[in-house]
Amino acid sequence: MRAVVLVGGEGTRLRPLTLTAPKQMLPIVEQAMIERVLGHLADHGIDEAVLSLGYRPDAFSDAYPDGIIAGVRSTYAVEPTPLDTAGAIRFAAAFGGVDDTFVVLNGDVLTDIDIRGLVDFHKERGAEGTIALTPVDDPSSFGVVPTDADGRVTAFIEKPPRDEAPTNLINAGIYILEPSVLSRIAPDIRVSIERETFPAMVSDGTLYAQGSDAYWLDTGTPDAYLRAHRDLLSGRRGGIPTPDAVIDAELGSDVWTIGEVDAVPGSVTRSLLGRGSSIATNAKVSDSIVGAGAVVEDGAMVTESVLLPGARVAARASVDHSIVGPGAIVGQRCVVTGVSVIGADAVIASGTTLDGERYPTGS
């Protein structure tokens, strides 16, 4: 079975990180997001994918010139203009020659949803399309998808008041589609599958949905990006946080490392240190990811944060619940907090305080 993976968006909510890289090429605990997404597909028997690209497409072909991503043979379909969700699906499917039942997945969703099970459900119902659903505590910020007892979708309700929502199950951004769906989508123009294609299928009674309590996370915001790391580090998602990571018994029973690192016992707790990273003797790192080659200098503190590869936190600086981009420098005695996001190669002047800010500003 093949898949279409939607990765064309600009990732504006994650700026400035996405000014220099597509969102799906950002690492999640030292592994590119797209590898985690396609790795999940591979685990469920999907060995071919068409990536619907738009923003910075060369980043994918440069990183994976042979088209193999996490064991999945991948074709790169670059949209000539933005086509929205349905338009992108039709374009990519046509480009890749998809002519049988296929999977569609939003490329910024990390999940453990059983795709094989969803395919089985789809075929048992004789559905034209099937949507994976996931529960949320407050559906008022989402579109909810009520179904009948057989799983047939009865309506799409956009952002209902919390006390009026007929269900807390929302669209998880994973679909099983028959090729006939493609003929419902006008070519070469912007078409939304959520607002146009799916409602038409509801009217025809051909759209089904299945809920799942499996892990699911849309990584599109800074807070969610931090949570993706935290969930892997804490074990909320099972298994090791990332390939090649091992517990470093010398540093502590809750410290993961990849390859050689420079750190001493007592300086790091509940964290992962990437290959070649360095933590000064008097620095403190807790509940954080320190990317490959990143440096935390003397007296600095890093808490519940992500330092991307090559980042540097200078002496006596503090980074808390924030993201420091690749190659960025947080100057001496800086305070970075409140889900601040620092872009690639940015330099924060000594003594600066960033609280819930994005730097460079205006990004």
**Could you tell me if 172 and 132 are in contact, meaning their C-beta atoms sit under 8 angstroms apart?**
yes
Q: How remote is the C-alpha of 144 from its chain's centroid?
A: 21
State the pairing for strand pair 72-78/271-273.
unpaired
Residue reference for tokens 């010398």: 250
The DSSP symbol for 180 reads G
Name the residue among 305, 311, 339, 304 with its Cα closest to residue 325: 311
Annotated catalytic residue 159: yes
Query: φ and ψ at 333, to 5 degrees?
Result: 60, 15
What is the rounded distance in angstroms from the CA atom of residue 227 to the CA atom of residue 224? 5
How many angstroms separate the first and last alpha carbons of the chain?
39
Name the residue among 105, 45, 101, 91 with its Cα closest to residue 71: 45
Catalytic sites, residue numbers: 159
